[in-house]
């Protein structure tokens, strides 16, 4: 049986989970988590691109354009706009990983690498949907798959490669590494090419990826926020302590062995058991801001990057040795769905809790004022601690409060920077609440 036929269940299941995540992210308005709420309020009030850093302009354009188009075409319901905002944030990674799954379907080892990229590198940090790193990681993975596993050399192919490269030029500072990797692969392809026109096309692609690498380096040398950059570095050094990510990689390893060996059911059951253990273990994790059921969304944006590079190396090996591995579990790749289903299950528990968190906010903001004990009780709830970011409460208040309300929620334990503290300083978005609200769609 051909490997492409053996992987059909994997392809359907993986793309199905990605689409389900896209739909749930949109309906549950996950784009309002953390910085996403701040971006959303800025987009509503300015009606133009919210640029946090010029070194990330490419990702910003990709993740805000469709939302702004809907805004300027006349969409005024804040509930619908919050869904569109969330959808725009996760559209790029959804399309990229779905496309890479299809491109890699005929190579067993490449599918393992693809599973690692999705289950261990994308979904664990996808709740932090507004992060530009989500766009870079996905664009890098799709471009890598195109360069290694698509043999076309026509104009459409090079336009696609170059277009993806242009968006990556200014997407996230880690293009300093991803740009070099992609440029090196293009250089290898160019060296093996004999037609002058095609060699010229490869040269243009190399220049684009190298430009992205230099631009990323500039963003590191002159960081937008030195404190944020240092926290990224600290998180990298703490990767060895991240049981969640290593647990997901371990489940993927067990599932891969199951796909390549005869006792597939036993090994797949072992992977399921490991996945259930991971799920139960996370239910008893300490309650802290940014620490969701799949881990610290802020820290893991850095920690998943080395794992993505290991998966990329696996993709290169799969290209060089396409017949190195073959499915033996009855000609099926279905065990590789185990880690994807596991991580999606845990992610679903975060979605349910997030839904409860937004309802907690709505109940609290329905009262025009509150005494100190009521405020302390609100900010002491587990869901409020886990899903509410300390500095972001004024923004959340403006978005979720009724039109006639001027109430601002402030975390009594936080003393740092706030977008605004006085009601009169808040942007007026009442026009978007005329037909609906985030509390009463």
What is the tens place of the pLDDT at every residue in 376-421? 888 888 899 899 998 999 999 999 998 888 888 888 888 888 888 7
**Token output for 193:** 């090419």
Closest C-alpha among 282, 252, 300 to residue 119: 252
| Average pLDDT value for the chain | 87
Least confident residue range of 187-201, 226-240, 266-280, 405-419: 266-280
Calpha distance 270→387 (Å, rounded): 32
Give me the mean pLDDT over the 135-144 stretch: 97
Calpha distance 253→427 (Å, rounded): 50
**Token output for 179:** 């740009």
Calpha distance 281→276 (Å, rounded): 8
**What pLDDT band is residue 1 in, cutting at 50, 70 and 90?**
very low
Calpha distance 178→140 (Å, rounded): 7
Calpha distance 85→145 (Å, rounded): 28
Calpha distance 158→211 (Å, rounded): 17
Calpha distance 437→439 (Å, rounded): 5
| Domain residue extents for the chain | 3-249+285-334, 352-433
pLDDT digits (tens, 9 = 90+) for 14-62: 999 999 999 999 999 999 999 999 999 999 999 999 988 888 999 999 9
pLDDT at 298 over 80: yes
pLDDT at 323 over 90: no
């Amino acid at each position: 049986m051909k490997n492409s036929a053996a992987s059909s269940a994997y392809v359907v299941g993986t793309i199905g989970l990605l689409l389900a995540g896209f739909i749930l992210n949109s309906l549950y308005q996950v784009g309002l988590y953390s910085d996403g709420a701040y971006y959303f309020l800025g987009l509503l009030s300015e009606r133009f691109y919210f640029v946090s850093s010029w070194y990330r302009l490419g990702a910003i354009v990709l993740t805000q354009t469709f939302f702004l188009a809907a805004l300027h075409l006349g969409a005024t319901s804040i509930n619908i706009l919050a869904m569109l905002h969330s959808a725009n944030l996760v559209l790029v990674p959804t399309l990229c990983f779905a496309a890479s799954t299809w491109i890699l379907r005929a190579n067993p080892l490449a599918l393992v690498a693809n599973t690692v990229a999705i289950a261990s590198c994308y979904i664990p940090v996808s709740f932090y949907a507004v992060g530009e790193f989500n766009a870079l990681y996905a664009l890098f993975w799709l471009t890598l798959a195109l360069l290694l596993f698509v043999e076309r050399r026509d104009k459409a192919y090079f336009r696609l490669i170059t277009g993806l490269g242009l968006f990556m030029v200014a997407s996230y500072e880690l293009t300093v590494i991803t740009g070099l990797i992609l440029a090196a692969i293009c250089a290898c392809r160019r060296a093996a090419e004999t037609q002058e026109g095609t060699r010229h096309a490869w040269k243009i692609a190399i220049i684009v990826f190298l430009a992205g690498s230099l631009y990323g380096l500039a963003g590191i040398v002159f960081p937008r926020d030195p404190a944020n950059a240092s926290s990224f570095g600290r998180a990298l050094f703490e990767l060895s302590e991240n049981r969640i990510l290593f647990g997901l990689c371990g489940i993927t390893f067990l599932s891969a062995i199951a796909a390549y060996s005869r006792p597939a059911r036993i090994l797949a059951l072992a992977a399921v058991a490991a996945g259930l253990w991971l799920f139960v273990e996370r239910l008893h994790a300490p309650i802290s801001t940014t620490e969701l059921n799949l881990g610290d969304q802020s820290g893991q944006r850095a920690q998943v990057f080395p794992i993505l590079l290991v998966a990329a190396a696996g993709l290169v090996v799969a290209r060089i040795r396409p017949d190195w591995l073959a499915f033996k579990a009855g000609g099926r790749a279905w065990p590789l769905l185990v880690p994807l289903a596991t991580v999606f299950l845990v992610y679903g528990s975060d979605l349910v809790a997030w839904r409860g968190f937004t309802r907690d906010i709505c109940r609290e903001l329905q009262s025009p004022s509150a005494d100190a004990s009521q405020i302390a009780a609100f900010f002491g709830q587990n869901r409020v601690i886990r899903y509410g970011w300390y500095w972001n409460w004024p923004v959340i208040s403006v978005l979720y409060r009724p039109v006639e309300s001027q109430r601002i929620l402030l975390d009594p334990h936080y003393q740092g920077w706030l977008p605004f503290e006085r009601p009169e300083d808040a942007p007026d978005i009442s026009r978007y609440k005329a037909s609906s609200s985030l509390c009463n769609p």
